[in-house]
């Protein structure tokens, strides 16, 4: 039932200029894979294999990445590089990705609404790929899915953040309901004194299709944009909505510091060169 997932990928990546002037931020590389591939693999692990990317101008590289590259595959085969060939071709053959263009940068809520004709009247996931989450306890999306299977309700991925960071995130109001965390409201990027908690939304969502109807009439909010958080606050008034504090390592890889941290941490976990990297880094510390 829950197989569709939306990747909003139309943003201009202003937090990461000049790197993102001609390269989509979703294509920035963590160790040896672009960020968006981590997101797609996480979704596949959660059984969400019908993927729609919301893209915009200058995002063609994403389409090429998930397409089959016949020429490259031919060359790798001829060169006997079978392992790399398998790596390259497996993902593009396993996934069906559709692309919808967000013609104007009207905000995350608007980007998600662009997927409505494709998703239709079904529950669906949303994943923000610049939040990279690595979890040994089942992918972040799989952790959300487990609660969705139990409740049939919208489920949101959360993490505790320091008070000084609440202005960077959508922050939820939550109350315990048995062993679940019921969400009763949320605010987009509040000032420290207005934050309802220290629980931030970290770019992983499962929604019932009612969200689309609410997005259609959601007025512009913070920053003059149609905010996903505002439509979610309306949804939480109408239907039960739950939060999951996600277990795993999380990197906000959409800015240079988070991106570098992700590269180093995942590099230090890489079987092939972790020891070499450790040795090299020691020279600089
Ligand atoms: C978006 C959402 C925000 C969420 C954040 C997670 O903000 O609007 O609610 O907490 O992603 O990364 P952005 O970082 O795109 O400004």
The answer to whether residues 195 and 79 touch, using CB atoms and an 8 Å cutoff, is: no
Give the whole-angstrom CA distance, residue 118 versus residue 129.
Answer: 20
Residue 1 has pLDDT above 90, yes or no: no
- Ligand 1 centroid to Cα of residue 171, in Å, is 10
Give the whole-angstrom CA distance, residue 136 versus residue 145.
Answer: 16
**First and final C-alpha spacing in the chain:** 50
pLDDT tens digit string along 166-182?
999 999 999 999 989 99
Residue 128 near ligand 1, beta carbon < 6 Å? yes
Q: How many domains does the chain have?
A: 1
State the pLDDT at residue 100: 96
Ligand 1: which residue has its CA nearest to atom 13?
169
Residue 136 has pLDDT above 90, yes or no: no
HSE, CB side, 13 Å, CA atoms: give it for residue 186: 30
Residue 108 near ligand 1, beta carbon < 6 Å? yes
- Write the CATH number for 107: 3.90.550.10
- Ligand 1 centroid to Cα of residue 70, in Å, is 37
Residue 82's alpha-carbon distances to 29, 72, 76, 85, 245, in angstroms, are 22, 12, 7, 5, 40
Q: What is the mean pLDDT of residues 151-173?
A: 97
pTM metric for this prediction? 0.94
- Ligand 1 centroid to Cα of residue 108, in Å, is 8
The boundaries of the domain holding residue 73 are: 4-284
pLDDT tens digit string along 99-131?
999 988 899 999 999 999 999 999 999 999 999
- Ligand 1 centroid to Cα of residue 135, in Å, is 20
Give the whole-angstrom CA distance, residue 40 versus residue 97.
Answer: 10
């Amino acid at each position: 039932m829950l197989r569709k997932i939306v990747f909003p990928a139309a943003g201009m990546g202003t937090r990461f200029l000049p790197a993102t002037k001609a390269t989509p931020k979703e294509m920035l590389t963590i160790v040896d894979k672009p960020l968006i591939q981590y997101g797609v693999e996480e979704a596949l692990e959660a059984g969400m294999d019908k993927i729609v990317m919301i893209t915009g101008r200058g995002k063609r590289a994403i389409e090429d990445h998930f397409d089959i590259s016949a020429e490259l595959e031919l060359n790798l085969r001829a060169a006997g590089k079978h392992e790399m060939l398998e790596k390259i071709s497996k993902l593009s053959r396993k996934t069906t990705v559709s692309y919808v263009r967000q013609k104007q940068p009207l905000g995350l809520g608007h980007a998600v609404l662009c997927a409505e004709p494709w998703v239709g009247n079904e529950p669906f996931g949303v994943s923000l790929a610049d939040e990279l989450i690595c979890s040994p306890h089942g992918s972040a999306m799989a952790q959300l899915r487990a609660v969705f299977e139990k409740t049939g309700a919208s489920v949101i991925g959360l993490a505790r953040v320091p008070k000084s960071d609440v202005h960077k995130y959508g922050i939820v109001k939550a109350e315990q309901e048995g062993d679940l965390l019921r969400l009763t409201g949320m605010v987009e990027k509040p000032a420290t004194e207005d934050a309802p908690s220290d629980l931030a939304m970290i770019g992983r969502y499962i929604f019932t299709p009612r969200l689309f109807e609410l997005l259609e009439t959601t007025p512009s909010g913070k920053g003059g944009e149609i905010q996903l958080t505002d439509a979610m606050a309306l949804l939480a008034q109408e239907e039960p909505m739950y939060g999951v504090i996600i277990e795993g390592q999380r990197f906000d890889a959409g800015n240079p510091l988070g991106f570098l941290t992700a590269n180093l941490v995942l590099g230090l976990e890489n079987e092939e060169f972790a020891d070499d990297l450790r040795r090299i880094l020691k020279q600089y510390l």
